């Protein structure tokens, strides 16, 4: 993999690419979840030998700059749109995991003509029906930098999900992200969409994936047995097979 940087939307953005030299190959842009970076997709990218692959470090993560202001989902989506345009990418399959799924949804419903396919991996975007659970999860994420490790562990255990990213200067950005409900936008997705979920996901329940599938007319729903929230790490072979079949169909 080759690591490169580009300035888009006034932000220095770091990204990984396989720098494939085949003009006929399809193109995939990967978006990571909260607290991760583009590098989390490297194992999958290495398996997609005949596909152009790009994995961004979204602003505030990895080696990219912190946002110059508190970002919203729309800000991240605009940055992705500009990234695709600046690199001249065409016929893109946009893949988003968790928080990256929110950004992928927003990028797609903004009618970016370069995005021809959408892949949502344990994607966030709905408000949990239980407002209490949503509030607790938000508290656990935001509290992490400010409370002892032992207490953070107990919070994660109580709330059914753990290992949340440090917030730091990203606190307001995080609040902006989780406070936006993308339900209506999801219903407006028209491109072919693959929805991938881990059977044992405790952070975004598989029911969320089923609901997305019911809202998106041209969608396929694939559940990976034995996988959790990070299905592409838990079951990389199965994940790659499902993804590649969708991209190349």
The Cα–Cα gap between 109 and 187 comes to: 9
**In the predicted model, is pLDDT for residue 83 greater than 70?**
yes
∠ at Cα 75 (69, 76), nearest 5°?
A: 110
DSSP secondary-structure letter at 66? P
Q: How many CA atoms lie within 13 A of 133 on its CB side?
A: 13
pLDDT tens-place string over residues 130-163: 433 444 454 444 444 443 454 444 434 433 333 3
pLDDT tens-place string over residues 105-133: 999 998 778 899 999 999 988 866 443 34
**Sign of the dihedral through C-alpha 178, 180, 184, 189:** negative
The Cα–Cα gap between 1 and 46 comes to: 8
- Please give the structure tokens belonging to residue 18: 């396989």
- Please give the structure tokens belonging to residue 26: 């399809």
Q: How many CA atoms lie within 13 A of 186 on its CB side?
A: 25
Contacts with 126 (C-beta within 8 Å, 6 or more apart), sequence order: 181, 182, 183, 186, 208, 211, 212
pLDDT score, position 163? 32
Q: Where are the domains of the chain?
A: 2-126+181-248, 129-180
CATH number of the domain at 2-126+181-248, please? Answer: 3.40.50.1820
pLDDT score, position 165? 44
């Amino acid at each position: 993999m080759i690591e490169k940087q580009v300035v888009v939307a006034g932000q220095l953005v770091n990204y990984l690419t396989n720098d494939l030299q085949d003009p006929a190959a399809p193109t995939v842009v990967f978006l990571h979840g909260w607290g991760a970076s583009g590098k989390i997709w490297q194992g999958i990218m290495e398996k997609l030998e005949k596909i152009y692959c790009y994995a961004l470090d979204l602003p505030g993560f990895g080696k990219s700059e912190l946002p110059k202001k508190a970002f919203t989902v729309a800000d991240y989506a605009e940055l992705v749109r500009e990234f695709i345009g600046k690199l001249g990418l065409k016929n893109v399959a946009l893949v988003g995991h968790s928080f990256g799924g929110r950004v992928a949804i927003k990028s797609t419903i903004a009618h970016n003509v370069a995005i021809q396919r959408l892949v949502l991996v344990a994607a966030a975007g709905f408000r949990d029906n239980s407002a209490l659970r949503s509030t607790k999860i938000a508290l656990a994420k935001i509290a992490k930098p400010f409370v002892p490790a032992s207490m953070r562990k107990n919070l994660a255990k109580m709330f059914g999900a753990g290992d949340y990213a440090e917030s730091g200067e990203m606190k307001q950005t995080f609040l902006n992200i989780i406070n936006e409900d993308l339900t209506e936008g999801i219903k407006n997705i028209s491109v072919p969409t693959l929805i991938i979920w881990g059977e044992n996901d405790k952070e975004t329940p598989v029911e969320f994936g089923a609901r997305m599938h019911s809202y998106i007319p041209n969608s396929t729903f694939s559940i990976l047995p034995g996988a959790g929230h990070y299905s592409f790490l838990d079951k990389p072979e199965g994940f790659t097979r499902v993804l590649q079949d969708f991209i190349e169909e």
